[in-house]
Chains A and B, each alone.
Chain A
Amino acid sequence: MSKGILVDIPKCIGCESCSVACKLWNELPWDSQEKNKTAEDRAKEPNKGLWPDEWTSINRYDVKKNGSSVGRYVKTQCFHCEDPACVSACFSKALKKLPEGPVVYDQKLCVGCRYCMMACPFDILRYEWKKAIPGVSKCQMCPSRVTNNQETACTSVCPTGAITFGDRDQLLAEAKKRIKDNGYVNRVFGEKEAGGTSWLYISDVPFEDLRFRTDVTTKSLPSYTEGYMKLTPFIGGTWAAVLAGLYIYNNKNKEPLE
């Protein structure tokens, strides 16, 4: 059963327990400069506050609701697409979608072409530009926990229940229930976006105001290049055969060149 995580944006109080838990579980080092940035600062950063050693970030957006300004905290990390563009873009199988849900990365297999970063529909992947031997980095969705029937590190510490770990199907139903009960925006971000993602978001303010990529395609991204890649061997073979035929035909009654 594919696991997922439901983010109930209105329930988040911005304590950032989750991002600290991520640091603690994954042994990610702290950066003195990044550490001092606030959730509001990070919301304005081009990188959404994610950098190679920061796999998840809480960003604060001040939005208008019923005429008054309210602050909303959005947990940002890899969405773990059901059919991930990065996995399909990786030509050395360094990225993989596990059946349990996590999209994981193994630096040992990585060549470092960064096509995954270009392909990612949510621009989540980060690169260790400062390292001589760099790798890609992103949230792994705690594969060693999830595959052992434990919840992810971040969800395990959320004090308000803003992030819930569970079976994606059940969470989707729960999300729709909460939307109905609480009068949220009628959209589960991640249900269909990019062909569906393991992380699901619900919100009481428009997703557009929270720097979500709301215009993202609902088709799975690998489906865009799937046909091309399947056809390539046949086209190549046919083309080679045609060339060979032409070669033989054209060279039949002629002096060979050279």
Chain B
Amino acid sequence: MDIITTFEKEAGKKHHSLRWRFRLTPMRLVFMAIAVAAIAVILVRFIFGLGAATNLNDQWPWGLWIAFDVLLGVALAGGGYGTCLIIYVLRRDKFYSIARSTMLTSLLGYIVVVLGLLIEVGQWFNFWRPYVSWGHTSVLFEVFWCVSCYTVIQILEFCEVATEKVFRGLHKYLKKAMPVLLIVGITLPTLHQSSLGELFYIMVGKENPLWWSVFLPPFFLLSSFFVGAGMIIVESSLAGKAFNHKVEIPVLRGLVRISGGAMILYLILKIVDMAVKGTFANAFAFDLPSILFLSELLFGVIIPIIIAFSSLSGTRKGLLWFGVLDVAGVILNRFDVVFTGMGKYLNQYGGHYFPAWTEFIVSLGLVSIACLAYLFIVENFNIIEHRGTEAVEGTTTENGDYAVTAK
């Protein structure tokens, strides 16, 4: 299945050759199928309400869509700001090769989050309300402003890439604006990543003390930072397969080390937190929350730290393990905060929630759409092969095709 579909844009044809390409592979057809199913479910949700498409109820007003699409989406897309910080602000130039792909993942992640939120909230048409009615005491207010502004900034940042190909006249302006965009684009996620954690601080007594903590903001911030490296590894190994392109080991290893450092800080903070709250007994009670809490730390933090600072991080296999465990750890953490942590309280009088299949479909569908968008953009814009040292114009082949054609 190696069909190459080539779209030609009529308008573009007159001025310069502008070609859009998108290969259809079986995997992409699967993505498309899931996306179509998700869109169908989303239609049902909009016509018949949340009750028709989800298992959400009055005991569980937040479910899979919040946990997966929002909390996890934002966390996993967090690699973007971390990489920006390392490359642009701290000028660790050796990581420059991954800058664009990481930022693209981040952008798509945030678009998924925003789309997910629009589907998730009851009165989506009122999404703009917080811009005018400032509920500034709400942590969610902070999250809302930061996420929406950051998404806009990321779009502008991406425009800097996009204008290499379309609307080229704007490129120089965007390039000039980049420093400001970058700095604001690092500040905002730092704030809302922590705020996402702080969201649960008001649920005192409802959230399990294993997760409820005064340190929720740093926990969420640090974990969103160190999951960045994991995401880059996972993403680059997946994309590497698709585009036959591999990121060099030293680059990844460097990232893993930085990430490992953040993990150590995270681990210390967790231990301090447990000591302060006196929850060691809860952590080692070996009931469901305790087991999940411990596996979060063991598999998601401790083992990755060991990999990061041992020779294992010099091998592709070791790096992949780091990536997988790191990402899985953060996934588990966010799910624990929303589900395991709230479960005992919300279910105490017979409450119950397990996501409906339709909820899974929508979540998977959003991810599929993001994947398709990623693949499309990578094939059509200068993302993967981008090197800082090369002149931008030079890499543009005559037909505007950046993708390395797979065998």
Interface positions of A (Cβ within 8 A of B) = 44-48, 50-51, 85, 87-94, 107, 109-115, 117-119, 121, 123, 125-135, 211, 213, 215-217, 221-222, 224-226, 228-229, 232, 235-236, 239-240, 243-244, 246-247, 250-251, 254, 257-258
15 A-B pairs with CB atoms under 8 Å apart are: A88-B137, A91-B141, A92-B135, A110-B122, A127-B50, A127-B61, A129-B50, A130-B49, A135-B123, A217-B204, A221-B202, A236-B191, A239-B191, A244-B183, A258-B392
Which of B86-94, B240-248, B368-376 is the contact stretch?
Answer: B86-94
The answer to whether A129 and B57 have CB atoms under 8 Å apart is yes
Residue picked from B50, B120, B179, B350, most chain A C-beta under 10 Å? B50
CA distance A127 to B57 in the complex (A): 8
CA A89 to CA B87, docked complex, whole Å: 36
| B94-131 interface (Cβ within 8 A of A) | 96, 99, 120-124, 126-127, 129-130
Cα separation A45 to B58 with both chains bound (whole Å)? 11
Give complex CA distance A131, B204 in Å. 30
Most buried by B among A46, A246, A250, A254: A46
Q: Chain B contact residues: over half helix, strand or loop, or mixed?
A: helix
Residue B198 at the chain A interface, CB threshold 8 Å: yes
Q: Is B388 an interface residue (CB 8 A)?
A: yes
Nearest CB on A from B224, distance (A): 15
Which residues of B are in contact with A by a Cβ distance under 8 Å? 46-52, 54, 56-59, 61-62, 85, 87-91, 93, 96, 99, 120-124, 126-127, 129-130, 133-142, 144, 175, 179, 182-184, 186-188, 190-191, 195, 198-199, 201-206, 217, 346, 349-352, 388, 392
Given known contacts A110-B126, A229-B142, A257-B88, is B59 in contact with A132 (CB within 8 Å)?
Answer: no
Query: Closest Cβ of chain B: how far from A210's Cβ, in Å?
Result: 13
Q: How far is the CB of A206 from chain B (nearest CB, A)?
A: 17
Q: Are B123 and A111 in touch, CB under 8 angstroms?
A: yes
Residue numbers in A under 8 Å from B349 (CB-CB): 44-46, 48, 211
**Bound CA–CA A227/B129 (angstroms):** 24
CB distance from A248 to the nearest CB of B (A): 9
Return chain A residues, CB-CB under 8 Å to B61: 114, 117-118, 125, 127
In the complex, which residue of chain B has the Cβ closest to the Cβ of A232? B142
Q: Is the CB of B62 within 8 A of A90?
A: no
State the CA gap A125–B58 with chains docked (Å). 8
Report yes or no: B350 in contact with A46, Cβ–Cβ below 8 A: yes
